[in-house]
Chain A
Amino acid sequence: DQQVKQNSPSLSVQEGRISILNCDYTNSMFDYFLWYKKYPAEGPTFLISISSIKDKNEDGRFTVFLNKSAKHLSLHIVPSQPGDSAVYFCAASLYGGATNKLIFGTGTLLAVQP
C-alpha cells in the first residue's frame, strides 16, 4: 500500500523556468510533510517542510503548497537552476508522534536544462 505517491518519475525544465513537483498521499492522519533532494552517491538532503496547519511554506527559491482536502502537496522551484537537477522525494510523517517515521514517495527525477 503506497501511502505517498509521486506519479511523475521524471520532469525536464529549462533553466530559469519554474519546476513543479507533485505528491499525493492517502493517509489523512499525516500532519507533517517534507521534501528531500538526492544526488547520486549521496544521502537525501532536507529541503523544506510544512505542517498540516499551514497551506504554504516558502524558503528562498523553494515553496511547498499543501492542499489537505485533496491530499496533495507540491514543490515549486523558481527559478530553476542546473544544480537543482536531482531526485526529489516527498515524505510524510506523524509529527505529533513520538517518532517521525518518514513515509517516502518513489521520487521524481528533475533535469534542469541549461
Chain B
Amino acid sequence: DAGVTQSPTHLIKTRGQQVTLRCSPKSGHDTVSWYQQALGQGPQFIFQYYEEEERQRGNFPDRFSGHQFPNYSSELNVNALLLGDSALYLCASSLSLSGLNTEAFFGQGTRLTVV
C-alpha cells in the first residue's frame, strides 16, 4: 500500500517565479492538507482540501493556492515566490468520516529553495 507521495522531492526557484507541488494521498484517503515547515519550526497548516473544495485555510497569503482532483490528489501552487517561502512543504492525507478526521499521514515533503 503506497503511502502519501509527493513530487518533486527538491526544487530550486528564483524570486518572483511560480511553483507547483504535487501530492497523492494514501489509498482510501479523501482529504489532503498542506503544511509548511520552516527550518527549526514545527509544520504550519496552509489549507485543507476535501471533495475538491478548500475546506479550511491557515494564515497564509493568497499567493498560496491549491487544487484537489477527482482522484483525491492535490496540488499546491505558490505565486510570486519570496525568499521566505523556502521551506519543507508537507502533504498529509486523512479520511473524513461523518465530519470527523482520522489521523493524518504525511508524505516525505518537498524541499523548496528560493534564491
Contacts and interface: CB of A to CB of B under 8 A. Distances in A.
Interface string A96-114: 1011111111110000000
SS class of chain A's interface: helix, strand, loop or mixed?
A: loop
Interface residues of A, number: 26
Nearest to A39: B108
A46 B105 contact: yes
Overall SS of chain B's interface: strand
A24 B101 CA distance: 23
B8 interface: no
Interface string A30-58: 00001010000111111001000000000
B99 interface: yes
B68 to A, nearest CB: 13
Contacts of A104: 35, 42-44
B106 A45 contact: yes
B86 interface: no
23 contacts: A4-B42, A43-B4, A43-B90, A43-B107, A43-B109, A44-B43, A45-B106, A46-B103, A89-B42, A98-B56, A98-B99, A99-B55, A99-B56, A100-B100, A100-B101, A101-B45, A101-B56, A102-B33, A102-B35, A102-B92, A104-B44, A106-B42, A107-B42
Interface of A: 4, 6, 34, 36, 41-46, 49, 89, 91, 93, 95-96, 98-107
